[in-house]
Amino acid sequence: MTAITDDPRWLDDGEMRAWRAYVIASELLRKQLNRELQEGHGLALADYEVLVRLSECDGGRMRMAQLAGEVASSKSRLSHQIARMETAGLVRRVECGDDARGVFAEVTDAGRARLDETAPTHVAGVRAHLIDLLGASDQQALADIFERVLSHLGHPA
């Protein structure tokens, strides 16, 4: 990891162009995908991402600490989010039998049904607003770039 120093290496025009395009486009993309899920299904993108991660696990459950890492959230913020989703009947918390302090988040049947209902809207948005704008080599480059960033930040791809 490159050390951050008191003597900054300012971004040149090309570097600034890349940085600003990334920042603005990624924020606008997330807002658009969230808006489509909210308007079409009353579900936030962050809640959709939790349902996806849980549905991909054996038994539809994952430790809360691991889930927080998977969705790039703090444990505290995720705990509040899971509480809201629990009230809506989409997930439930389950005690870890072998660890008194551990808690699983588990997707419910209603959560799976909600995911099945919303997934076509989400994938259509991802395609329309990103994937279909890129050729195969662009998609490969994008994956390579952000897998490198994830690795640098200590997050599994």
Q: What values do phi and psi take at 89, rounded to 5?
A: 80, 15
14-130 CATH fold: Arc Repressor Mutant, subunit A (1.10.10)
Whole-model pTM: value is 0.89
Q: How would you write the pLDDT of the chain (157 residues) with one tens digit per residue? A: 556 667 899 999 999 999 999 999 999 999 999 999 999 999 999 999 999 999 999 999 999 999 999 999 999 999 999 999 999 999 999 988 776 678 999 999 999 999 999 999 999 999 999 999 999 999 999 999 999 999 999 887 6
